[in-house]
Amino acid sequence: MIFDVITLFPQMFDALTQYGITRRAAEQGSFVLHTWNPRDFTTDNYRTIDDRPYGGGPGMVMLAEPLAGAISAARQRQAASGVKKSRMVYLSPQGRLLTHAVVKELVAQPEEGLILLAGRYEGVDERLIRQYVDEEISIGDYVLSGGELAAMVLMDSVVRQLPGVLGDAGSAEQDSFVQGLLDCPHYTRPEQFTNSKLFNAEAVPPVLLSGNHAEIQRWRLQQSLGRTWLCRPDLLAVRDLTKEESGLLAAFQDATKNLKS
Ligand code: ADE
């Protein structure tokens, strides 16, 4: 997958290319990332990239022309490396919410290049958005100081879904949201906490030590259903449950009621 990012702070993207799973994915060529600094596309001695808003008001607005220069350069580079269509995305709070469905949509078009515009200040000249941007995407109902973190969130969530990126082939399918449910709880050593300053006594759920893989699968599915019911009932409202799932959830709900009463 090919990403080109328009940003005033290219070094921020080292967080993606220098660490963890996304670093390995970049090294093995699962994705390519190029950054373009609009400052390099200015024509004045001061390398100006912003100016005051017409009509007055606080803050500064990013100039359209350096951004257009950077976007055109990114498009040309993508075309030269064989990309048939570049999709131009502006990260902004007024965009479509980034959900797993949107991530899947992006992953399903690996032949498409993505150009991500990370804005700063009060935003960018509206004419640039109208004439260059295919789509706006938001990562949530809050305002960030710039689009860089949002662009990285988008890229991270897309890259981990690309074939061969996660070491354990099953991991991506088990993530929260993939089956329309939250992930189940996870445990590792030690098997038993004894009372201490750090923890109260608590054991790992015995089923996980049973070695019975079918039972473990059923327990995990039940926990996923239960957690989704408790924490994100909106997800259950849009997902049909199988007969087995309905039974598992009913048992979880009963157990929860018994705990409360
Ligand atoms: N830029 C500023 N806030 C943002 C948000 N919530 N999502 C995407 N881009 C943004």
Q: Which residues are catalytic?
A: 93, 122, 160, 175
Distance CA 231, CA 236 (A): 10
Residue 110: predicted pLDDT:
81
- Asked if 190 and 233 touch (Cβ cutoff 8 Å), the reply is no
Distance CA 102, CA 90 (A): 14
Which residue ranges form the domains of the chain, and what is each CATH number? 2-168 (3.40.1280.10), 174-260 (1.10.1270.20)
Residue 170: predicted pLDDT:
64
Distance CA 235, CA 247 (A): 18
Say yes or no: CB of residue 140 within 6 Å of ligand 1. Answer: yes
Classified as helix, coil or strand, 185 is coil
- Ligand 1 pocket mutation pick from 116, 137, 144 by most atoms within 8 angstroms of CB: 144
Residue 175: predicted pLDDT:
81
- Asked if 97 and 158 touch (Cβ cutoff 8 Å), the reply is no
Say yes or no: CB of residue 92 within 6 Å of ligand 1. Answer: yes
Residue given tokens 């935003």 in the structure block? 123
- Ligand 1 pocket mutation pick from 9, 12, 91 by most atoms within 8 angstroms of CB: 91
Per-residue pLDDT of the chain (261 residues; tens, 9 = 90+): 999 999 999 999 999 999 999 999 999 999 999 999 999 999 999 999 999 999 999 999 999 999 999 999 999 999 999 999 999 999 999 999 999 999 999 999 988 999 999 999 889 999 999 999 999 999 999 999 999 999 999 999 999 999 999 977 667 877 888 899 999 999 999 999 999 999 999 999 999 999 999 999 999 999 999 999 999 999 999 999 999 999 999 999 999 998 877
Distance CA 39, CA 175 (A): 39
Residue 169: predicted pLDDT:
60
Residue type, 236: L
Q: Where are the alpha helices (DSSP H) in 54-212?
A: 64-80, 100-107, 126-132, 148-159, 171-174
- Asked if 73 and 41 touch (Cβ cutoff 8 Å), the reply is yes
Please tell me the distance between residue 117's alpha carbon and the centre of ligand 1 in angstroms: 11
Instruction: Give the pair of three-digit tokens for residue 91.
Output: 């990260």
Q: What share of the chain is helix, strand, coil (3-state, %, to 5)?
A: 45, 15, 40
